[in-house]
Amino acid sequence: MSISSSLSRTGVAAWYERRSRRRSSRGADASLAIGVAIIGVMMLAALLAGVLSPADPIRQDIPNALAPPGTDGHPLGTDALGRDVLTRMLYAARTDLFVAVGAVLLPLVIGVAVGTIAGYRGGIVDRVVTGVVNVVFAFPVMVLLIALVFILGPGIPTIIVAVTLVSWVSYARLARDLVRRERSMDYVLAAKVSGLPTRRILGRHILRNIIAQPVTFAMSDAVAIILFITALGFLGLGVPPPAPDWGTMIADAQPYFTTHWWLAVFPGLAICAAGLGLSLIADGLSQKWNAQ
């Protein structure tokens, strides 16, 4: 009787586990699909900005300044200089989203490469990399980023360089820890015994088994980078004017927060949408990774 009861409980537990995994998989797929759809639509709209809204994002039209949403030819209204809000939002998306892509990919590639080598080699290489990582982590990230941008000067290349100099250490530390765990696995030892070169062991065996976590982390990091880019624009350290930027648009709207709400609300919604899309992608990837 006790054996039968134990088997029954085991079967029920296995059934619940399979059911939980299926639900988790469906949730991850839905999260990924929605996130990719949001970011995909935003990037497509940014690329087709000139087609979707042919107005000039820089040209001033003072007689039509502060036109409310729904005005003929200006579905989201105009700003204090008569520039079309929709057009400027689309061109700002082109700037902010694609700067974020560069500011995520560069530190991801550099950090994973450095961390993988340090974790696999060990010794003095590992100690040097760990020391550099600890030094960078000793400073508040946001303060360090703003200081670098202030020193190097505003501009798109500056933002990407500053983020890369600060962010690669996070990926390096993560990759190092993952590689140190993997290098003692049987499949790595077997590859060494078979005489495979180090480059092939790292590239074809270890890296393919650890890359999911850095990529998932990169999606989460992209949300912070979007907020950082817009914060720089708000502080006047971002994309140089008159080029549109979500943060700059909100900063320019400060005198009109209570009287002309659309000047800040629409760029703010764009920032929220980008953050939501990237967060959903990161959450979906994380769920898939945990399920595996």
Whole-number CA gyration radius for the chain: 24
Is 263 in a helix, a strand, or coil?
Answer: helix
Tell me which amino acid residue 250 is: I
Confirm if 142 and 228 have CB atoms less than 8 A apart.
yes
Let me know how many helices (H) and strands (E) the chain has, helices first. 12, 0
Task: Determine the pLDDT at residue 189.
Answer: 86
Distance CA 130, CA 172 (A): 9
**What is the average per-residue pLDDT within 84-110?**
95
Confirm if 239 and 155 have CB atoms less than 8 A apart.
yes
Is 276 in a helix, a strand, or coil?
Answer: helix
**What is the average per-residue pLDDT within 74-93?**
96
Number of domains present in the structure of the chain: 1
Band of pLDDT at residue 239, cut at 50, 70 and 90: confident
Task: Determine the pLDDT at residue 163.
Answer: 94
Instruction: Judge whether 26 lies within some domain.
Output: no
What phi, psi does 196 have (nearest 5°)?
Answer: -65, 140
Print the domain residue range for 205. Answer: 47-291
Distance CA 176, CA 211 (A): 12
Percent of the chain at pLDDT > 70 equals 90
> Over the stretch 208-229, which tens digit does the pLDDT of each residue have?
889 989 999 999 999 999 999 9
Instruction: Judge whether 266 lies within some domain.
Output: yes
Instruction: Judge whether 1 lies within some domain.
Output: no
Instruction: Judge whether 38 lies within some domain.
Output: no
Instruction: Judge whether 135 lies within some domain.
Output: yes
Distance CA 82, CA 63 (A): 7
Residue found under tokens 């100690």: 127
Instruction: Judge whether 30 lies within some domain.
Output: no
Band of pLDDT at residue 24, cut at 50, 70 and 90: low
Confirm if 240 and 154 have CB atoms less than 8 A apart.
yes
Look over the chain and give the mean of its residue pLDDT values, rounded to a whole number: 89
Looking at the chain, how many residues does it have? 292
> Over the stretch 163-213, which tens digit does the pLDDT of each residue have?
999 999 999 999 999 999 998 888 888 888 888 888 888 888 899 889 989
Instruction: Judge whether 188 lies within some domain.
Output: yes
Band of pLDDT at residue 65, cut at 50, 70 and 90: very high
Q: Where are the alpha helices (DSSP H) in 201-261?
A: 207-210, 212-235, 246-252
Residue 161's CATH number: 1.10.3720.10
> Over the stretch 32-63, which tens digit does the pLDDT of each residue have?
999 999 999 999 999 999 999 989 999 999 99
Whether residue 3 is predicted with pLDDT greater than 70 in this model: the reply is: no
In 3D space, the residue among 67, 86, 89, 92 whose CA is nearest the CA of residue 78 turns out to be: 67
**What is the average per-residue pLDDT within 135-157?**
91
Task: Determine the pLDDT at residue 7.
Answer: 43
Instruction: Judge whether 34 lies within some domain.
Output: no
